[in-house]
Structure 1
Amino acid sequence: MRRSRIRSAVVFFVATLLAVGGVLTVTGEAAAAAVEDEGADCPVSVPGSWPSTAKLPDPFKKIDGTRITAKADWRCRRAEIKKLAERTIYGEKHAKPASVTGSVSNTGITVNVSENGRSASFSAGVELPSGTGPFPAVVVVGGFGADTATIKAAGAAVITYDPLAVGKEGTPRNNKQGAFYSIYGATSSTGLLAAWAWGVSRIIDVVEQSGGRILKPDALGVTGCSRYGKGAFAIGALDQRIALTMPIESGTAGVPILRGIPGESGSQPLSNAYGEQPWFGDAFSAYTGNPGALPVDTHELVALVAPRGLFIMENPHVDWLGARSGSVAALAGAEVYKGLGAGENITYWSDVQDGTHCASRPEWRTPLQQNIQKFLLKTGSAAGTFRISAKKAGNLAEWRDWPTPTLTDGPGTTTPTTPTTPLPVGCTATVSVNQWSGGFVTTVRVTAGAAPITGWTVTATLPAGAAITSAWNAGRSGDTGTVRFTNAGFNGNLGAGQSTEFGYQGTGTGTGTTATCG
């Protein structure tokens, strides 16, 4: 499902656009490059209760219990996940207010908001790269932890966003402060992360209204580290106009699965994160001791970003950050990317040497450039990759009991096959390897032949010196040489021509691995 197929039509100016002295002052509406929430028109009825489960909820299963079968179904399934996440994790991120005005200049953005007789204003800084605009831009939440030199060298502007002006930390939950709460009330049950996301959405509104003279409204990214990594993740999940989301070392309340935090030694407890700052919505208090009762988890927040660009950066050297749970969230969320045919749009990278929190890391520089080129400049095509540190490698098979469907391109359509060339009986295995210096991740796709199968075994022969350190979605015997993988309980039954995938991470060289299925 490509962005060009799901975006709304261009709308015309209904108010004035005035350019004065390099500053674009805007009021009302202008041409929109995308929409904040494509599923806003989907009917979503949130139930009063839902079953508790220790496993990660099935992102492909709708509230009514049926599973989606087509890529077109994802729009409204996404709306369900978003609504459940707001109800239990974030609190409501309110839609665009009645009035949003402001200005865009070479050095800054101003935002003025009015709703129901209440008004608020805030601003953001702008640093332009060299060259001639208009420029794509990356919103840097909190102003630190991001490699802004690489961002600008790649040709993107930097928008420095102070989220505390929109949702202030250090305030009690019954007296929240900042521009968001000036509009919606100091006792709003919405947490800071959703409030920060709302603030970036209003910045995007102003950039859209400016007509793209300085900044391109259809080429915007977001990044931030630590607590601001939590914010960057929420911003990208909750506004579909963000083309590239890049959370850094986000920790609890960010990318790591909430169900995994209690069992990950040294990670910030849910109750601690809830009490440290009002990042979560108030309703999350009911789940700090029982995350299994949540109807969603962060792998589905990863899925909210799909099929847009997502580059997750994590630090396995600091236990507090919960990187093992982060890798599980990324692996599970990547299944939605694969289902949408966009598996190349997600990158996860925790294989770093320096353990300093929020450091600028050389390992991330090249994928950062590649993601900016691909999703903001529209000049690159590098496929996403997973580089999971052996120190904090999660096992997805332990956390899910649902298969990844093969979603059709539209209602009633299927992938065509050539009727004169029957598929072989049994199964086949194909191998894909992401290799780096000293390690690799291998994905194996198992495909049934002309008849259904009720179980499978894949025999893989690894190159000399290669050793498996972890695997997911399959059982295995052995770590080196010839290794046998068997299906998990949820992915052994395949219809004729259907496929499933499992994977493993290892040290050494994975290139040259061969595999057979029987």
Structure 2
Amino acid sequence: MLLVATCVTMHAEELPDVLTAQDGTKIRGTEEWREKRRPELLEHFSREMYGRSPGKPEGMFSEVFDRDEQALGGTATRIQIAIYPGGKPAPRIDLLVYVPNHVKGPAPAILGLNFAGNHAVHKDPGIRLTESWVDQLQPNIPPYPDSHHRATDAARGTNAKQWPVEEIIARGYALATMYREDVAPDHPPYFASGVPELYPELQEREDNFGTIAIWAWSLSRAVDVLEKQERIDSKRVAAFGFSRLGKAALWAGANDERFAMVISNESGAGGAKLFRRGVGEDIQRLNTVFPHWYAKSFRKYSGKDKELPFDQHMVMALIAPRPLYVASAIDDKNANPEGEFAGAKAAEPVFRLLGAEELPTDNWPELNRSVQGGIGYHVRSGGHDVQDFDWQQYLAFADKHLKR
């Protein structure tokens, strides 16, 4: 089935121009982008959508509490690091790292937040069980016996099908992951624990530190820690995220240029898809069902998707010239696959301006075919999930860009 671009793209005049500054100046050079347009876009999205994020906290502390050089049958070194953003004793964020033992020198890494706890990404009994709240009924994750929202051994490996740890290791990449609930709660009361406790003053503002921004901020704090690990090449770290965590990966990559690559897996509304197309999940639903994800200032745009003075192609453009992969699933109607492709295409002018490759097609690709330039994209069969097909494309894209 061939899906053509005329069905999915928007005319340039229908979208706010990513290369026109707020004062009307046309951005024509790299210096103008870096000195003028990029800073004002970061400021605009911080004020109007994601909320204000602090920098690295002065009191942040981390310590390695586990190291096994013969993990996964001897193929990897497992390192577990406790991160205390505000210093001990809490909040505590566990960073789980697997480093391939066959790689000589520092390895490139894929870093992402997970939905069900570090212990759920693999059956490895050495992974510490989270002490944070867990949801026994996560989509695409087999349920396990209710334990009052506390992790038990029964949960080990329940999310493993979305995290092909052995394949990632075999391909020469380290994998680093943290549990979203260690960072910030995704259930009421939304700002009562985790990182939000460190910044109560930021929650009183209209441009408050929203949960998507908090998760994105935590990915940067993980890079702070990985920079100290000799086995990791911290200049070759890719930010990965699925669904709401894909939204966070995009915002992390937009803000923190230390990320060498960004991977968005079905991030949908508030992620890769264009709001102004008016298809799929909308701003009203985001602000009603997930009121904690974005800043309070974003609520004034509810019901105004087609009138936005900004859109998500601008967030993706902030990642340029670093490589960006956007992936969709044909049955994931809320995420609006057509809108995700259109969003990636609309970010191209900045990639072009900065001398990076674009997305090498003008047509929405056939099902289960990956197209890869400086921007990569595919739409696969099936629904909202992370599948082996997705990871095969991400690893091929990483081979192209992170192993140069």
TM-score (norm 1): 0.57
Residues 1:358 and 2:373 are matched in the alignment: no
The answer to whether structure 1 residue 141 and structure 2 residue 156 are counterparts is: no
The equivalent residue for 1:221 is 238
- Find the partner of 1:247 among 244, 264, 276: 264
Equivalent positions of 1:60-79 (< 5 A) are 60-76=19-35, 77-79=37-39
Tell me if structure 1 keeps the 8 A contact 2:18–2:314.
yes
Q: Is the 8 A contact 1:100 1:206 kept in 2?
A: no
Q: Secondary structure at the match of 2:100?
A: coil
Match for residue 272 of structure 1? Answer: 285
Unaligned runs of 5+ in 1: 1-52, 379-518
CA spacing shift, 1:201–1:359, aligned 2, 3 Å: closer
Alignment match of 2:100 (pick from 129, 143, 158): 129
Q: 1:184 to 1:131 in 2, by over 3 A?
A: same
User: 1:319 aligns to what SS in structure 2?
Assistant: coil
2:188 maps to which of 168, 171, 193: 171
Per the TM alignment, residue 214 of structure 1 is displaced from its structure 2 partner at its CA by: 2.1
* Structure with a larger share of its residues in helix: 2
Residues 438-489 of structure 1, C-alpha deviation per residue, up to 9 Å, x if partnerless? xxxxxxxxxxxxxxxxxxxxxxxxxxxxxxxxxxxxxxxxxxxxxxxxxxxx
**Cα shift readout 1:367-396 (whole Å, capped 9, x = no counterpart):** 322322233333xxxxxxxxxxxxxxxxxx
* Residue of structure 2 in register with 1:207 after alignment: 226
Partner of 1:184: 199
- 1:273 is aligned with what amino acid? L
Report deviation, 1:244: 1.2
Higher relative contact order, chain-length normalized (CA < 8 Å, sep 6+): 2
After TM superposition, the structure 1 = structure 2 runs for residues 7-406 of structure 1, keeping only pairs within 5 Å, are 55-76=14-35, 77-104=37-64, 106-114=78-86, 120-132=91-103, 133-142=105-114, 145-172=162-189, 176-185=191-200, 187-188=203-204, 189-208=208-227, 210=228, 212-260=229-277, 262=278, 264=279, 267-277=280-290, 278-343=292-357, 344-350=373-379, 352=380, 354-362=381-389, 364-378=390-404
Q: Which one has a larger percent strand, Structure 1 or Structure 2?
A: 1
Indicate how the Cα distance of structure 1 residues 154 and 177 shifts in structure 2: closer, same or farther if over 3 A, else same: farther
**How far 1:197 sits from its partner (Å)?**
0.8
Q: Is the 8 A contact 1:255 1:298 kept in 2?
A: yes
Unmatched segments (≥5 aa) in structure 2: 1-11, 68-77, 115-120, 122-158, 358-372
Check whether the contact 2:85–2:195 (CA below 8 A) recurs between aligned residues: no
Say if 1:92 and 1:293 are closer, same or farther in 2 by CA, change over 3 A: farther
Contact between 1:247 and 1:312, CA under 8 Å: does it hold in 2? yes
Question: Aligned ranges for residues 467-478 of structure 1 at < 5 Å?
Answer: none
1:311-348 deviations in Å (ceiling 9; x for gaps): 11111222122111111111101221112110231111
- What SS is found at the alignment partner of 2:347? helix
Over 3 Å counting, the alpha-carbon distance change for 1:75 and 1:99 in structure 2 is: farther
Give the direction of change, closer, same or farther, for the CA distance of 1:318–1:113 in structure 2 (3 Å limit). closer
Would the aligned equivalents of 1:101 and 1:111 in 2 still touch at CA under 8 Å?
yes
Kindly state the Cα deviation for residue 146 of structure 1 after the two structures are TM-superposed.
Answer: 4.5
Q: Secondary structure at the match of 1:259?
A: helix
Within 1, Cα distance between the matches of 2:256 and 2:192?
Answer: 22
Aligned to 1:422: none
| Distance across 2 between alignment mates of 1:359 and 1:369 | 13
TM-aligned CA distance change 1:155 to 1:269, over 3 Å: same
Q: CA deviation at 1:162?
A: 1.0
Cα deviations by residue, 1:187-223 (Å, 9 ceiling, x for unpaired) = 3522111000111111111222x1x412221111121
Indicate the SS of the match to 1:140: strand
Contact 1:164/1:178 (<8 A) preserved: no
Alignment-mate amino acid for residue 137 of structure 1: A
Looking at structure 2, the residues matched to 309 and 147 of structure 1 have their Cα atoms a distance apart, in angstroms, of 22
In 1, the alpha carbon distance for the partners of 2:57 and 2:22 equals 29
- Give the distance between the partners of 2:248 and 2:215, measured in 1 at CA: 7
RMSD in angstroms over aligned alpha carbons?
A: 2.4
How many angstroms apart in 1 are the aligned matches of 2:212 and 2:336?
Answer: 19
One-letter amino acid of the counterpart of residue 290, structure 1 = K
Larger C-alpha radius of gyration, 1 or 2?
Answer: 1
Which amino acid letter does the alignment assign opposite residue 225 of structure 2? V
Distance between the aligned counterparts of 1:84 and 1:270, measured in 2? Answer: 17
- Seen in structure 2, the aligned counterparts of structure 1 residues 59 and 272 have a Cα distance that, compared at 3 Å, is same
2-side partners of 1:118 and 1:271: how far apart? 38
- The structural deviation recorded for 1:54 is 8.5
2:81 counterpart letter in structure 1: I
**Secondary structure of 2:14's partner?**
coil
Partners of 1:290 and 1:216 in 2: how far apart? 43
Structure 1 contact 129–155 (Cα < 8 Å) conserved: yes
TM-score normalised by structure 2 residue count: 0.72
Give the match's secondary structure for 1:220: strand
Contact 2:215–2:245 (CA under 8 A) maintained in structure 1: no
Residue pair 1:84, 1:295 contacting (<8 A) in 2 also: no
CA distance in 2, matches of 1:268, 1:329: 15
- The answer on whether the counterparts of 1:190 and 1:282 sit within 8 Å (CA) in structure 2 is no
Q: Is this contact kept in 2: 1:191–1:281, CA < 8 A? A: yes
**Aligned mates of 2:193, 2:377 — CA distance in 1:** 33
